[in-house]
A and B are shown apart, each in its own frame.
Chain A
């Protein structure tokens, strides 16, 4: 009895969550914004990331290059009128078994997220210390 009640509640929550999905770009959510380009190897891969530009591209490149297992990380925007960027990641051969390029990518994203958190924290702190908003 309790189980079935729980099950029903779960379903309800999923439904309401779907309703709350942002209306904008709802078609884009269906489409996956990242794909692996042909020519993938054991420690190397190129990714095509849609809907992103130098803003995320360069910041992410920096964070991925901070990873000691990464031999090379670079990005390019093949054509300015196409809204996507290519990102190349190569892992040192000795780390190939423990870190796939996609893992380095995910770690880069996590690290960038953490960095933002610290910046937010320190920024608020500095602002409150400075005080007087005129």
Chain B
């Protein structure tokens, strides 16, 4: 059996001046002689560790320890591309005399996060694209899949503004159109009731949509639908969803005095502290693994850098439609749903194959009779 030390080194990715070592995971059956690495849920439950460091509405930070990169990466990818949210998909311009072109404005409107009663929005349906094969006509929006947002703004001069004034706030009314000016127009009473005390609105009211000058006008009706980030980034519920591996810094020889101070400067703030004149690693989490220390001749062979291969520091920033921690949970649920769906299809495939084989053998059996 391997010693505890070598077993610990297995999950350390070495970071050298020019190379990285020990990159790929090797926790597979047959890789290490005499060890059992087959999948075991109860063992996984024992070893898996999740710890939170921050859980705000718009930002969650947590560590997931003892999962493989392929799993962590699946969660990250789903958070970005496969968790649904609402965004404006169609814009109908009734008037636009501003300097910003229709198509550019439509794109800007699309990027505004649309929020409202979360439960209702989850339960709303997907708007179908393309034509209905029965009628040949495009699918019509319904109360259950489309939200109508209206934007109307006219810029006017404020009468009797002082001469020589240059501040647009004192000269013009409505000179800037914000996301908060998007007004939800429920298609009917039922839709209004569905949202109750949490009406549909822009997730961030202060987004500037357009700037106007006196005489310019903007009247746009837009349809918001449910979508996925893999279709268009505007549907992605996260601003960023990322992870990094926990850095590991090993000081192999005692470094003291002025050299310790120089060593401290090679790392991010708070990583190295000087205790009784000796450099000590206190918080490797803060480090960004700049590898600066490896450039200095005096620290050659004294300091080793690495990253823990199965320690993921996740950071999820929500765009507003979901709470940041909810996005992760939803992503895990979506991965489960993917597994279920593929399993169902595999079973169906096997069933069809069996039926086919049955059909092929049956006529022969009848002939024999």
**Contact A56 B128, CB 8 Å, known A68-B38, A127-B52:** no
- Residues of chain A within 8 A (CB-CB) of B346 are 34, 102, 105-106, 109
Most central of A59, A106, A129 by chain B CB within 10 Å = A59
- Residues of chain B within 8 A (CB-CB) of A125 are 50
Assess whether B336 is in contact with A113, with CB atoms less than 8 Å apart. Answer: yes
Contact-size category for B: 35 or more
Q: In this complex, what residue of B is CB-closest to A123?
A: B50
Cα separation A126 to B65 with both chains bound (whole Å)? 12
Cα separation A116 to B41 with both chains bound (whole Å)? 10
**Shortest beta-carbon distance, B317 to chain A, in Å?**
14
Assess whether A66 is in contact with B339, with CB atoms less than 8 Å apart. Answer: no
Assess whether A111 is in contact with B70, with CB atoms less than 8 Å apart. Answer: no
Using a CB-CB cutoff of 8 Å, which residues 261-302 of chain B contact chain A? none
Picked from A106, A127, A129, the residue with its CB within 8 Å of the CB of B325 is A127
Q: Does A115 contact B (CB under 8 A)?
A: yes
Picked from B56, B340, B345, the residue with its CB within 8 Å of the CB of A32 is B345
Assess whether A24 is in contact with B125, with CB atoms less than 8 Å apart. Answer: yes
Q: Does B233 contact A (CB under 8 A)?
A: no
Q: Which of B98-106, B208-216, B348-356 contacts A (4 or more CB under 8 A)?
A: B348-356
The number of residue pairs between A and B whose CB atoms lie closer than 8 Å in the complex comes to 144
**Contact A32 B349, CB 8 Å, known A56-B335, A59-B70, A113-B340:** yes
Cα separation A23 to B67 with both chains bound (whole Å)? 36
- Residues of chain A within 8 A (CB-CB) of B67 are 119
Q: In this complex, what residue of B is CB-closest to A66?
A: B39
Q: Does A99 contact B (CB under 8 A)?
A: no
Q: Which of B74-82, B151-159, B160-168, B197-205 contacts A (4 or more CB under 8 A)?
A: B74-82
**Shortest beta-carbon distance, A58 to chain B, in Å?**
4
Q: Which of B176-184, B326-334, B359-367 contacts A (4 or more CB under 8 A)?
A: B326-334
Q: Does B122 contact A (CB under 8 A)?
A: no
Assess whether B341 is in contact with A33, with CB atoms less than 8 Å apart. Answer: yes
Q: Does B138 contact A (CB under 8 A)?
A: no
Q: Does B250 contact A (CB under 8 A)?
A: no
Cα separation A34 to B359 with both chains bound (whole Å)? 21
**Contact A112 B41, CB 8 Å, known A32-B345, A126-B62, A133-B55:** no
Q: Does B252 contact A (CB under 8 A)?
A: no
Q: Does A5 contact B (CB under 8 A)?
A: no
Q: Does B51 contact A (CB under 8 A)?
A: yes
Q: Does B170 contact A (CB under 8 A)?
A: no
**Shortest beta-carbon distance, A129 to chain B, in Å?**
7
Assess whether A58 is in contact with B325, with CB atoms less than 8 Å apart. Answer: no
Cα separation A134 to B66 with both chains bound (whole Å)? 28
Apart from the given pairs A33-B342, A55-B338, A102-B346, 8 other A-B contacts in the complex at a CB distance below 8 Å:
A59-B73, A68-B38, A106-B343, A110-B339, A112-B339, A118-B41, A125-B50, A127-B62
Q: List 15 A-B contacts (CB under 8 A).
A: A32-B352, A34-B342, A34-B346, A49-B342, A56-B74, A56-B339, A58-B70, A58-B74, A59-B335, A66-B29, A66-B37, A110-B339, A112-B339, A122-B50, A123-B328
Identify the A interface with B (CB < 8 A).
22-24, 32-36, 49, 52, 54-56, 58-63, 65-68, 102, 105-106, 109-127, 129-130, 132-134
Give 7 nearest A-B pairs by CB, closest first. A130-B52, A68-B29, A66-B39, A24-B126, A59-B74, A62-B70, A126-B50
Identify the B interface with A (CB < 8 A).
25, 27-30, 37-39, 41, 44-45, 48-52, 55-57, 62, 64, 67-68, 70-71, 73-75, 77-78, 81-82, 125-126, 128, 323, 325, 328-329, 332-333, 335-336, 338-343, 345-350, 352
